[in-house]
């Protein structure tokens, strides 16, 4: 079966790809394994220089890459250009800092010499999603490769054109042959790659069920794995919050990637004293959003990625309505061509609704009111997910205290819990394990080796 790249705004086919067989995919993995030793021995200075080159390639081809994202998964032009800008920053960030982070760490002992060294593991298989087709890959590949690993990318089959563009970018930047390769193949080939002797570690960003299956597979083969499995991030608004700011940021964080972002706030928990005012401001900000062609610079919300995402989101909203939620705006599909969904605000939301218990991937803002601070914290933590959380209050000491007890990999005060490459990013509970970004990402695919000379 051919793999089809389809424009979610028009439903037209962009391009068709013949998937690689398991044998062809394994041959590529073998080539990447063969390139590992030379890449490892190239040295940190050369590796960081090539990473800077990659940033320059992204900068020079940003318009092209932004358009690819627009026609393959519906990223709006402004957000697509911002994504490429983040790729440039990532490349420069790891190029600037990795040499210092990877320095041997002396351990004072009675021995002649003793220290901790950081060495690469080998080949990292990056199993990546469609929702951030460029940054998801670079946030994995840049730290893994600067340590000295080589990378095989198995991208989502929804974005094969972006996947091939990434391989071309590494090649254009001057990376040695087979240090970064893309394979376009069917899902059932991936387990064979993980089990093979050519793969040494795995990074997966996906939904929980797929991540769980990959974790079992990696564990059975004793291979390191990093999992980012999404979230249902709470956005807690206390009675002393700046409501204008909180409402503005609530909408901004929710519509990132048309609401198809793991790190976006998804459950809006508001104390009852300010719930009406907050809801009114959110509704006002939401009604003015421009939905349309993702290639049009004026568009703020594009289409969802495919019909499956559209149907799942619509089912979650209908479940909320059936259980008593009030639709303040939106509430259904927009038009009959393309996978557009109306920006939606729901009030009178209850804890048992799917918009509160499941990860919601789309421009839907469910607002639930609670009695007070304690109830807000209990509800915020009462989820199987633990990726990010935010609390909104003018009392910064109180905000920090609450942030410390939020059960999440990131907690913010008066800021959405969206990722920032300067901080470690990842989750607990069903949101995954391991960290991306910052110096900590370098350690995920490093052999942290003790060297003792007696």
**Residues recognised as catalytic:** 228, 262
Please provide the size of the chain in residues: 454
């Amino acid at each position: 079966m051919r793999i089809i790249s389809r424009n979610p705004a028009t439903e037209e086919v962009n391009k068709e790809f013949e998937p690689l067989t398991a044998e062809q995919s394994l041959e590529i993995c073998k080539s990447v394994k063969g390139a590992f030793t030379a890449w490892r021995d190239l040295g940190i200075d050369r590796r960081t220089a090539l990473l800077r080159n990659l940033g320059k390639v992204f900068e020079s081809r940003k318009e092209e890459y932004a358009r690819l994202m627009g026609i393959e998964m519906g990223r709006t032009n402004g957000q697509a250009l911002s994504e490429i800008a983040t790729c440039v920053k990532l490349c420069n960030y790891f190029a600037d800092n990795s040499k210092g982070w990877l320095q041997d760490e002396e351990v004072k002992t009675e021995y002649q010499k003793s220290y901790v060294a950081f060495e690469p593991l080998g080949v990292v298989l990056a199993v990546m999603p469609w929702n951030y087709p460029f940054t998801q890959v670079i946030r994995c590949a840049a730290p893994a490769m600067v340590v000295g690993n080589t990378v095989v990318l198995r991208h989502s089959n929804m974005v094969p054109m972006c996947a091939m563009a990434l391989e071309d970018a590494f090649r254009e930047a001057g990376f040695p042959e087979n240090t970064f390769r893309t394979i376009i193949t069917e899902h059932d080939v991936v387990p064979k790659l993980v089990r093979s002797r050519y793969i040494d570690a795995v990074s997966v960003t996906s939904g929980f069920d797929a991540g769980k299956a990959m974790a079992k597979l990696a564990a059975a083969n004793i291979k390191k794995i990093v999992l980012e499995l999404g979230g249902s991030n709470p956005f807690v608004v206390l009675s002393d919050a700046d409501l204008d700011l909180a409402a503005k940021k609530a909408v901004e964080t929710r519509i990132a990637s048309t609401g198809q972002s793991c790190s976006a706030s998804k459950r809006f928990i508001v104390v009852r004293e300010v719930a009406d005012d907050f809801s009114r401001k959110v509704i006002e900000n939401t009604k003015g959003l421009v939905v349309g062609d993702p290639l049009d610079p004026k568009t703020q919300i594009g289409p969802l990625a495919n019909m499956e995402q559209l149907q799942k989101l619509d089912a979650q909203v209908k479940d909320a309505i059936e259980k008593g939620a009030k639709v303040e705006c939106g509430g259904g599909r927009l038009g009959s061509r393309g996978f557009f969904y109306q920006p939606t605000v729901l009030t009178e939301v209850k804890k048992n609704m799917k918009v509160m218990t499941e990860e919601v991937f789309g421009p839907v803002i469910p607002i639930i009111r609670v009695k007070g601070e304690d109830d807000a914290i209990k509800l915020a933590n009462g989820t199987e997910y633990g990726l990010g959380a935010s609390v909104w209050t003018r009392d910064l000491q109180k905000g920090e205290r609450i942030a410390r007890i939020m059960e999440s990999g990131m907690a913010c005060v008066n800021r959405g819990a969206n990722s920032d490459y300067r901080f470690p990013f990842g989750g607990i509970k069903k949101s995954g394990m391991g960290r991306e970004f910052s110096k900590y990402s370098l350690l995920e695919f490093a052999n942290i080796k003790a060297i003792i000379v007696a």
